[in-house]
Amino acid sequence: MKIKAKNDSAFIQYLLHLGDNALIMSHRNSEWCGHGPALEQDIALTNIALDQIGQARNFYQYAAVLINESSNEKQTEDSLAYLRDAWDFKNCLLVELPNGDWGQTILKQFLISAYQYYLYLELQNIQDEQLAAIAAKSVKELNYHLRWSADWVMRLGDGTSESKKRMTDAIDAVWSYTYELFEVAEYENILSVEMQCKIREAWIEKIKTVFGKATLAIPNSQWKQRGGKLGVHTEHLGYILAEMQFLQRAYPGSEW
């Protein structure tokens, strides 16, 4: 059964949102390539970056097919990644934040991996076959990302006084960006209200469990940062795109 939303722009925007989250996260992770605190962890983050870019490709390829079907445009996965401007990107602000130190990198990874994991678990059951297939494929990879990042949160939180301080600082720095993950944009209506609640509850439960083992606390502050899902970004995204898109902007269509 085909869902009604299939060719409408909300569904396409939703695919772009999913792709943008994965692509920008991938780019941030790739910044650690060659800079990890230990070879194994450098390799872990670059592996996660590779999985994320693979997931982004699947979302963009699917979005490109639907865009081209419903218009005269000739979009490709590459044009969607490299030729859109910051205001076209629909990723959550959390994924574009700078990596900071290892603690902040780990914390962001954990918060986002937990979110993507529970989101994809639900998406693999939706009626749109291709999106469900991408989600089912991706959730297997997320399983690894989530376990790795959760282990590190526990290790650093329940580690030395220095590592604990770094994690506490990281939580203070990024927590206000987590609310946006669950502020439902209009184009997210493909997820039923029940699904949205389920994802949010599973996420907060996971965070509480892991923070509990890590002797870390969830902040009381309700201050919320928002905008990314609607294309209103922090200045950081511009810098990411300037670096990521430079080659295709300067040498359109170049391949290697």
Partner 1 sequence: MKTVSSEKAIWHLLESVSDPEIPVLSVIDLGIIRSVLFVRENNHDSSDHQLVITITPTYTGCPAMDMISKQISSKLEEAGYQNFEIKQTLKPAWTTDWMTETGKEKLRSYGIAAPVGKSFNNYDLSKLKIPCPQCGSENTSMISEFGSTSCKALFKCLNCKEPFDYFKCH
Site residues for partner 1 per CB under 8 A: 40-41, 43-44, 47-48, 50-55, 57-58, 129-130, 132-134, 136-138, 140-141, 143-144, 147-148
Tokens of 168: 């506490």
> In the complex with partner 1, which residue's Cβ is closer, 47 or 99?
47
In the complex, what is the shortest distance from the CB of residue 43 to partner 1, in angstroms, rounded to a whole number?
Answer: 5
3-state secondary structure the chain: CCCHHHHCHHHHHHHHHHHHHHHHHHHHHHCCCCCCCCHHHHHHHHHHHHHHHHHHHHHHHHHHHHHHHCCCCCCCHHHHHHCCCHHHCCCCHHHHCCCCCHHHHHHHHHHHHHHHHHHHHHHCCCCCHHHHHHHHHHHHHHHHHHHHHHHHHHHHHCCCHHHHHHHHHHHHHHHHHCHHHHCCCHHHCCCCHHHHHHHHHHHHHHHHHHHHHCCCCCCCCCCCCCCHHHCCCCHHHHHHHHHHHHHHHHCCCCCC
In the complex, what is the shortest distance from the CB of residue 120 to partner 1, in angstroms, rounded to a whole number?
Answer: 11
> In the complex with partner 1, which residue's Cβ is closer, 16 or 48?
48
> In the complex with partner 1, which residue's Cβ is closer, 59 or 177?
59
In the complex, what is the shortest distance from the CB of residue 107 to partner 1, in angstroms, rounded to a whole number?
Answer: 19
In the complex, what is the shortest distance from the CB of residue 137 to partner 1, in angstroms, rounded to a whole number?
Answer: 4
> In the complex with partner 1, which residue's Cβ is closer, 43 or 242?
43
Amino acid sitting at position 152 = W
In the complex, what is the shortest distance from the CB of residue 116 to partner 1, in angstroms, rounded to a whole number?
Answer: 12
> In the complex with partner 1, which residue's Cβ is closer, 140 or 165?
140
In the complex, what is the shortest distance from the CB of residue 54 to partner 1, in angstroms, rounded to a whole number?
Answer: 3
Cα separation, 155 vs 214, in Å, equals 7
> In the complex with partner 1, which residue's Cβ is closer, 143 or 225?
143
